[in-house]
Amino acid sequence: MSIFQKSQQGKAAGISPTELKAMLESDSPPLLVDVREPWEFGFARIEGAQLLPLGELQDGTPNLPQDRPIVVYCHHGMRGAAAAQLLMQQNYTNVKNLLGGIDRWAQEVDPSMSRY
């Protein structure tokens, strides 16, 4: 099974920070979607991420490509998991959630990143 396919339970799969780093450095990186609030995005973000707060995602259909893998993230992973599920309900099939969110990313991949 591709790492971007749905799990057998129909839930979005997770991806570790180190796996995401490798994917972002590849020739075909995923679309990175930050589902935190704008003030959080302004405090710390992963380079190249697109801001789409969870509340906005819940309010309507996002304008995201369906033919590209998507990785969503939040602070610790809970909003990211909810966002991944919402996207899958809207027929996005190549969706993953960053496990541990940006906080785990900062710990494992970018220790220079501000944490909150």
Residues labelled catalytic: 74
The whole-angstrom separation of Cα 47 and Cα 103 is 14
The whole-angstrom separation of Cα 29 and Cα 2 is 15
- 98 burial type by CB count under 10 A (0-12 exposed, 13-18 middle, 19+ buried): buried
DSSP single-letter state for residue 7 = P
- Do 36 and 79 meet the contact criterion of CB atoms below 8 Å apart? yes
